[in-house]
Structure 1
């Protein structure tokens, strides 16, 4: 599996001079870095492209994984040829990608996705531009990424909807559910049903990396989860929860993921029996935020309830106490139905309150898995939380709007909220084609 994820290039903007980069024979090429890019000048003696070059060594490349190479370049002479290679840094110099572009006088961004055939920890990237006439090439924003948001969100191939589809291809609802649900990226939930969470998360992230996509992960294993409600369960003790979070972190390692931490855990504090239990719960969420927040490529969001549950000032205080400062921010509307504009207004209010509490710059995400019709019924009343009728799929996972970092399918559409509403008798977390079709049709 890959040992490096995210951006493999060191100092790709040359903000730190030429640190991390090598230069070819000084008889053929001279370089200067002002802090915003590289100026590399080939002499008239550099007759061949490979005579004048710059590059970087010791890249870790893994077979079967998707990478995206991108860089911005221009030249002092229009029509200058630039060759860029990624491959082995030693004999036989096998290439994973070998591209030649023609540069003009204006900055141009070049982007090349590729699937790597190599397995090496001594990979190399090189830029070659010798051509028998003196020329200066300007390079900046050089990136070589593996499994990043640039390649999109990962579609869980083993979602409950996908499993149902595989077993029910002849069902009249199969094509509709495949198009609307199975092909859409959403969150994979991890909890007490994962007997080896480190191995399970590692496998899930490796699968996402093999497709060059970003996984969305929801952690749902809080001690006394759901306070004994329809989604009860979770870690058997606070100590077990902390150990579980450490295993989650070990499974994620240095690989990128969007992580939603413990839906409802803070919003349900008022239902806990004592101040000691509430303090303990906040401390466990904080432990998760602090542990996962140290990972280099993980983007963490603590759950922030929904717009009709906890007042913004109160939620901001809870998030602050739960160490949201160690995370990117918070998630709203998880497993709920509020429209995007209502969610973003609520989240903006929380963000403002966090700023007043000394935690500025918090981001947020919105769960849009079931909010296509909002949360009001035909009579203008707010719907119940448990499988209400008349709801619809919302905007599929995407870059956010109205201040949100992302709009995400966090709740798994078609999975029951519990034995109630139009899902009477369907246990929480169980996929129902009936519920799925109702969400697709908005009925």
Structure 2
């Protein structure tokens, strides 16, 4: 085998044959059809992922790595001082991937020193397309990682790699490595929980508790307060690490999946109804880092900064636009590296706002490739069908320009009657489909809290943004 200048491992047939002779044989790979798509193979694609037999094969080591099975797990020693992640690789070849198929790469890992390393599921030859490309942080505590993804290629020449260079000399420890089919609706945090979490202290729930005498309370409790939705976190949340930790801890104790919204970007909402946010870029980095600290390893879904990408146009110059994009990239990197059981989605506007190819460029610049995907229609009213068509167009542009796609989620909290051309407390809107996996997108979610005002406008001219209005809520229930 040899390592090329692009940092990709090129297999040599002879070496692969030696491994097959010395260790467990790889399962026969399915043949691609006339369109180059591989039919579905075995559920488990990795061979010898638990290293229980004491053999390393068919895992290979590359430059600057030496692998040995020790105490039932793989120890990979990184030698020298390799500059780049791909300068110290190890992995397994012969992975068959199906275009459009969902997978989950899972493993347990630790290291002899705190390091950040790269993990991929990728094509083993040029152009080395990587449907999964993650960076993770390791230390002395063994942790379970799980990364669902959808393959955007069909091949029998895929590979799983752990790229360990760029962090000096250390030892990485791997066990229970698995690449299995599935992941979209049943893997990741969805597969770790028994459903979505209902916030017991949402604005509608608090209003119902405080106004049980009101004739509208029973209907709001039944249709809204008892349903799963997102909790928004911003500069009103106090100690953000503690606030986030308390919320995800409660959800975890109930075996439910919480949905959180990070909403504190400087210059939030272009200074409009929901204006505010962190006072400086430095303050935001501190805040979002603490937000991620609160998540820890517990399962969660996070929507990153509604409107922040779409509203780049309201910023006065390229310097401020680039500053915002840098902050969003930082947020995606923090979530990628420090919240292994969180699916994070960068807000991507809505179907009637930014052209799909432009949004694709912005999502790439804001770090969408670092995380699970993007979110659409947050706090808006477009029908799910319009949002899914827009999401497909964004993914087409991402694939054309950058050779990857991402799953997306759609906010259905208020889209039951579609969009009427207005966005600020318009009349005649209605609750949409409940939070669920699938439904046309990866998930349909109630991201905006139904009944919370968009601002002093529309049918609630005297209700500030984020304040619950029982009148808005009852109109959403009836669709009037």
- State the shift of 1:359 in Å: 4.5
- Tell me the alpha carbon deviations over residues 260-304 of structure 1, each in whole angstroms, 9 at most, x when there is no partner: 000000111111111111111111111111111222111010000
2:245 is matched with which residue? 202
- State the shift of 1:256 in Å: 1.3
User: Within 2, Cα distance between the matches of 1:292 and 1:424?
Assistant: 37
2:472 is matched with which residue? 435
Match of 1:388 among 426, 447, 450: 426
SS at match of 1:234: coil
User: Within 2, Cα distance between the matches of 1:145 and 1:315?
Assistant: 26
Q: Sort the Cα spacing of 1:426 and 1:18 in 2 relative to 1 into closer, same or farther, 3 A.
A: closer
- Tell me the alpha carbon deviations over residues 98-139 of structure 1, each in whole angstroms, 9 at most, x when there is no partner: xxxxxxxxxxxxxxxxxxxxxxx9xxxxxxxxxxxxxxxxxx
- State the shift of 1:401 in Å: 2.5
Q: Sort the Cα spacing of 1:314 and 1:409 in 2 relative to 1 into closer, same or farther, 3 A.
A: same
Q: Which moved more, 1:421-430 or 1:269-278?
A: 269-278
User: Within 2, Cα distance between the matches of 1:263 and 1:410?
Assistant: 10
Q: CA RMSD in A?
A: 2.8
Match of 2:291 among 226, 248, 254: 248
The answer to whether structure 1 residue 264 and structure 2 residue 264 are counterparts is: no
Q: How many residues align?
A: 314
On the 8 A contact 1:147/1:209 being kept in 2, the answer is: no
On the 8 A contact 1:363/1:405 being kept in 2, the answer is: yes
After the TM superposition, which segments of 4 or more aligned residues of structure 1 sit over 3 Å from their partners?
A: 12-18, 143-150
| Structure 2 gaps, min length 5 | 1-42, 60-71, 73-141, 143-179, 181-185
User: Within 2, Cα distance between the matches of 1:287 and 1:233?
Assistant: 20
1:324 is matched with which residue? 368
Q: Sort the Cα spacing of 1:407 and 1:230 in 2 relative to 1 into closer, same or farther, 3 A.
A: same
User: Whose radius of gyration is greater, 1 or 2?
Assistant: 1
1:347 is matched with which residue? 391
User: Within 2, Cα distance between the matches of 1:163 and 1:370?
Assistant: 20
Q: Sort the Cα spacing of 1:348 and 1:147 in 2 relative to 1 into closer, same or farther, 3 A.
A: closer
SS at match of 1:437: helix
Q: Which moved more, 1:350-359 or 1:340-349?
A: 350-359
2:458 is matched with which residue? 421
Matching of residues 331-410 of structure 1 within 5 Å: 331-376=375-420, 382=421, 384-402=422-440, 404-410=441-447
User: What's the TM-score, normalizing by structure 1?
Assistant: 0.67
Matching of residues 253-292 of structure 1 within 5 Å: 253-292=296-335
Q: Sort the Cα spacing of 1:421 and 1:14 in 2 relative to 1 into closer, same or farther, 3 A.
A: closer
On the 8 A contact 1:201/1:252 being kept in 2, the answer is: yes
| Structure 1 gaps, min length 5 | 1-11, 23-33, 36-55, 57-120, 122-140, 377-381
- State the shift of 1:146 in Å: 9.1
User: Within 2, Cα distance between the matches of 1:159 and 1:349?
Assistant: 34
Q: Sort the Cα spacing of 1:146 and 1:237 in 2 relative to 1 into closer, same or farther, 3 A.
A: closer
The answer to whether structure 1 residue 236 and structure 2 residue 236 are counterparts is: no
2:231 is matched with which residue? 188
Q: Sort the Cα spacing of 1:359 and 1:431 in 2 relative to 1 into closer, same or farther, 3 A.
A: farther
